[in-house]
Amino acid sequence: MFNSTPILLRRGPGDHRHVLAAGAAQMHLLAGLAHEVVRRLAYQERDPARIRQGPPAHQVERLCEALIATGDTADAEEILAEIARGESFETLCLQYLSAATRMLGDWWLEDRASFAQVTTATGKIFEILRKADTPATAAARPTDVTVVFASVPGEQHTLGVRMAADLFRGDGWEIALKLGYTQDELIAEIRKLKRCIVGLSIGGRHSLEALGDVVTALHTHCPEAVIVVSGQDIEELRPHLAAMGLDGIAGELQEAKTTISALWDREMTRPK
């Protein structure tokens, strides 16, 4: 879901770096991913010196190469298991993934890794984090209320909402992710749920009309659904969003967590 801001993208032959939104989203999400992995690591590793020291660079580089390669997470997981050799896999996994995330950011800025490769790597990191199932993960909330994260129909940039869903899951949330649906298909999915919070992700001003259409459809066909909107350019779009009858608007990931948690508490105390 949720936010991205412009920074540097790629450099073509003979060209200078250009400020493009696609690169901004990737670097913003890499920074958020690094923060999340370090947060989980802090729960596992009680020796601050080990967190600061980090693992050997040559091993992290080997892991990064496996992460950016095509295919599944098997090679990266094999490297982590080989390095662990009896140590706590969860703690070591977090240490190496934290270092790998930072190295991937450096590779991106140095043109050593492409946008597609870094996107592949971040997806694999989240997959490995889910499999590690660290004790830092909070107990899952009861499922009386379903939380759905969805991209606005027609929105092409869905990496942010995918990663937001994984970050929420890391905090113990059960998230139903709905991507690539038409408006009618998305409404049909939401209508199957008795009680739900729908987090809609927009990529910017260009998504405003489509967002308005899907919000109107939700109000009409799913009147019990609680609707939260987040994404790019939220601060600029707040006046337009405020007129849509939303239950929440969030510009940053932490604001989204706070907003959805409060709405969850409200829905759990509301009579069925």
Query: What's the pLDDT score for residue 36?
Result: 54
What phi, psi does 176 have (nearest 5°)? -95, 120
Split at pLDDT 50, 70, 90, the class of 12 is very low
Which residues sit opposite 146 in a β-bridge?
196
Tell me if residue 197 falls in helix, strand or coil.
strand
Q: In whole angstroms, how far apart are CA 180 and each of 147, 149, 248, 272?
A: 17, 12, 23, 31
Q: How far is CA 266 from CA 143, 197, 247, in A?
A: 14, 11, 11
| DSSP strand pairing (19-20 vs 7-8) | antiparallel
d(CA 3, CA 244): 20
Three-state secondary structure call for residue 18:
coil
Say which residue, 49 or 105, is predicted with more confidence.
105
pLDDT band at 187 (very low <50, low <70, confident <90, very high): very high
Task: Please indicate whether residue 210 or residue 42 has the higher confidence score (pLDDT).
Answer: 210
The answer, yes or no, to whether residue 233 has pLDDT greater than 50, is yes
For the chain, list the strands marked E by DSSP: 7-8, 19-20, 146-151, 175-178, 196-202, 226-231, 248-250
**pTM confidence score:** 0.53
The continuous run of DSSP H or E covering 208 comes out as: helix 208-221
Residues ≥6 apart with Cβ < 8 Å to 221: 187, 190, 191
Identify which has the larger pLDDT, 55 or 135. Answer: 55
pLDDT tops 80 at residue 219 = yes
Return the pLDDT at 19: 34
- Maximum separation of any 2 CA atoms in the chain, in Å: 64
Other C-beta atoms lying within 10 Å of the C-beta of residue 70: 7
pLDDT tier at 4 (50, 70, 90 boundaries)? very low
The token duo for 44 is 């596992």
pLDDT score at 199:
95
- Which of 145, 135, 151 shows the shortest CA–CA distance to 173? 145
Predicted local confidence at residue 272, as pLDDT: 63
Q: Tell me the pLDDT tens digit for each residue of 96-105.
A: 887 888 888 8
Q: pLDDT tier at 23 (50, 70, 90 boundaries)?
A: low
pLDDT in tens, 112-159: 888 788 878 888 887 787 776 544 444 444 457 889 999 998 887 777
pLDDT for position 26: 54
